């Protein structure tokens, strides 16, 4: 019973600590590439939003509004 506890604790600790990755400043240019964005393809995004709006009968709530200043 005690061995199972330690194995589980070790597995959780390995999962928690292996998820952290440091990105070096010269590697950030690859993460800022437009292809790394979720809504990279604007046409596909427009079709998906139209489909969801038609299917659910709702509109909006896609993307982010405002510029980060908290005024919206």
pLDDT digits 0-9 by tens, 54-72: 777 766 666 555 555 555 4
Task: Please check whether residue 34 lies inside any domain of the structure.
Answer: yes
The whole-model pTM stands at: 0.33
Rounded to whole angstroms, how far apart are CA atoms 48 and 58? 13
What domain range includes position 37?
22-59
Task: Please check whether residue 10 lies inside any domain of the structure.
Answer: no
User: pLDDT (tens digit, 9 = 90+) per residue, 26-46?
Assistant: 888 877 777 777 766 778 888
Mean pLDDT of 12-26: 80
For the chain, the domain total comes to 1
Rounded to whole angstroms, how far apart are CA atoms 8 and 1? 11
User: How high is the pLDDT of residue 62?
Assistant: 61
Task: Please check whether residue 43 lies inside any domain of the structure.
Answer: yes
User: How high is the pLDDT of residue 65?
Assistant: 53
Task: Please check whether residue 44 lies inside any domain of the structure.
Answer: yes
Task: Please check whether residue 13 lies inside any domain of the structure.
Answer: no
Is 8 a residue whose pLDDT tops 70? yes
């Amino acid at each position: 019973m005690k061995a199972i506890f330690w194995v589980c604790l070790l597995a959780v600790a390995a999962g928690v600590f292996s998820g952290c990755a440091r990105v070096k400043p010269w590697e950030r240019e690859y993460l800022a590439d437009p292809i790394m964005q979720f809504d990279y393809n604007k046409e596909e995004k427009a079709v998906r939003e139209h489909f969801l709006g038609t299917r659910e009968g709702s509109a909006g709530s896609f993307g982010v509004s405002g510029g980060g200043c908290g005024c919206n």
